[in-house]
Amino acid sequence: MALRSLLALAGVAVVARAADNSTCSSFLNATSQADLDKIASCGTFDASLSISTDAGVLTLNGVQNITGSLSILSSVDLTSFSAPTLSQIGGTLDLEGLTILDTLSMPQLTDLGGIKLVTLPALEELQFNSGVQNARDILVSDTSLKSLEGLNLSSVDTLDVNNNKNIDDISVAATEISGALNIAFNADSVNVSLPNLAWVNNATFRYCGSVSMPQLQKVNNSLGFVNNTLYGLQFDNIQSVGSLTISSNSQLRNASFANLTTIGGGFVIANNTRYGKIFGFPKLKTVRGAIEFQGNLTQASLPSLEEVDGGVLIDSSNVFNCSSFDAAHKKGDFHGDKYVCEGKSTTISTKLTSLTSTASDSSSGSNSDSGSNASAAATTSGSSSSKSKSKNQAVAPVAAVGTGLFGTFFAMLLQLV
């Protein structure tokens, strides 16, 4: 009895081994088509596969499933790689430094751990005909891809698309991005569309011509638009962001964040030369970091603002009316120890506390008008650094009275909420 079951067990073990011997479960470092053909009957290749070859064309036949990663690295003669049966890669599909690869065909591929496509200057399209549905981390850098067609992702951790000079359309179906979204240095004025995205942890856009995320409600960490050529920003469903930076967007005319109530960190709008009127934040109530507005600003209105926990620095090269900010400061809404609001031919208001080096840096490099310098220096007594401004400025020191009272009032309000 016992002997028979032992023999039966041994038989099972032998069968299992024949179907899945070490060829199908050991790391393979392939250099040729012959190496790949050794695993063609594996079905599932239960290890990682690394390819480094001087062949021009390679085909991975037979394998449906790679449980580890598939890497093809530094193979400068490879023009074409196909995996006609491959549907799943447990780890990362990692292609790097394939300088003349122009064909990447994986018609069945739907699931993988991650995608790394780096320095593939001849690759113009992904032949992922079934549409990749699941991949957590995606890096597409320095390719000639014209779009991300073939990636049909619903949820990703990171998506980084940078330095792809031919990509003129970046459309991603994802509904959530739990890590970072980075779109930078692609084709000039690339149009970016994430029509379903509801939340993203942090997102940065550079050198984009337009960014559309109509469903976006929340940015858990940072949201930044830097050096883009876009004309407008419209994110009317966003209710909260961790921090918001809009800087050096030379074509920007307008921004609308109609539902934004809370910025958890800093709020920076700087050096957008054509964006002069900041009106698009009608519901913004709380900024937990600092506000820094710089550039060619004529008007800024934050009608619902009740609380800024950091400093407030408004420094315009244009004629700017500080009165609403002065009033908010006087009322005690600004809890930081720094408040500066200044523009050309208008008032400068500073709280009688130290102006940090940031404030003085931002005003340096301009022609000086000694009269106004003197008045600024004279009236910001108690400041730790001297300011030199070219702008014609009058100084209206703001009484330090009230801050403590209103601070207490806000603390009470916050406790009530």
Ligand X SMILES: *[C@@H]1O[C@H](CO)[C@@H](O)[C@H](O)[C@H]1NC(C)=O
- For the chain, give percent helix, strand, coil, nearest 5: 15, 35, 45
State the nearest-atom distance from the C-beta of 226 to ligand X, in Å: 7
State the nearest-atom distance from the C-beta of 62 to ligand X, in Å: 9
Q: Which residues contact 324 (CB under 8 A, 6 or more apart)?
A: 300, 301, 302
**Spatial separation of the C-alpha atoms in residues 235 and 214, rounded to whole Å:** 6
Question: Of 103 and 221, which has the nearer Cβ to ligand X?
Answer: 221
State the nearest-atom distance from the C-beta of 5 to ligand X, in Å: 25
**Spatial separation of the C-alpha atoms in residues 172 and 160, rounded to whole Å:** 12
The answer to whether residues 42 and 62 touch, using CB atoms and an 8 Å cutoff, is yes
DSSP H or E segment with residue 304? none
Question: Of 251 and 379, which has the nearer Cβ to ligand X?
Answer: 251
Cβ–Cβ contacts within 10 Å for residue 337, how many?
A: 12
Question: Of 175 and 379, which has the nearer Cβ to ligand X?
Answer: 175
Question: Of 144 and 189, which has the nearer Cβ to ligand X?
Answer: 189
Question: Of 79 and 296, which has the nearer Cβ to ligand X?
Answer: 296
Site residues, ligand X (CB under 6 A): 18, 21, 23-24, 29, 31, 41-42, 44, 50, 52, 64-65, 67, 87-88, 131, 133, 152, 154, 168, 178, 180, 187, 189-191, 199, 201-202, 204, 209-210, 218, 220-222, 227, 236-237, 247-248, 253-254, 256, 258-259, 268, 270-271, 273-274, 276, 279-280, 294, 296, 298, 318, 362
State the nearest-atom distance from the C-beta of 43 to ligand X, in Å: 7
Question: Positive or negative CA dihedral for 151, 152, 155, 161?
Answer: positive
Residue whose C-beta lies closest to ligand X: 131
State the nearest-atom distance from the C-beta of 270 to ligand X, in Å: 4
DSSP H or E segment with residue 255? strand 254-256
The answer to whether residues 230 and 211 touch, using CB atoms and an 8 Å cutoff, is yes
- Name the token pair of 95: 């292609």
The answer to whether residues 148 and 171 touch, using CB atoms and an 8 Å cutoff, is yes
What is the biggest distance separating any 2 CA atoms in the chain, rounded to whole angstroms? Answer: 108
State the nearest-atom distance from the C-beta of 206 to ligand X, in Å: 7
Question: Of 97 and 276, which has the nearer Cβ to ligand X?
Answer: 276
State the nearest-atom distance from the C-beta of 121 to ligand X, in Å: 19
**Spatial separation of the C-alpha atoms in residues 322 and 320, rounded to whole Å:** 6
**Spatial separation of the C-alpha atoms in residues 235 and 215, rounded to whole Å:** 8
State the nearest-atom distance from the C-beta of 258 to ligand X, in Å: 4
Sole residue written with tokens 């074509």:
251
Question: Of 133 and 162, which has the nearer Cβ to ligand X?
Answer: 133
Question: Of 141 and 201, which has the nearer Cβ to ligand X?
Answer: 201
Nearest to 297 by CA among 354, 230, 247: 247
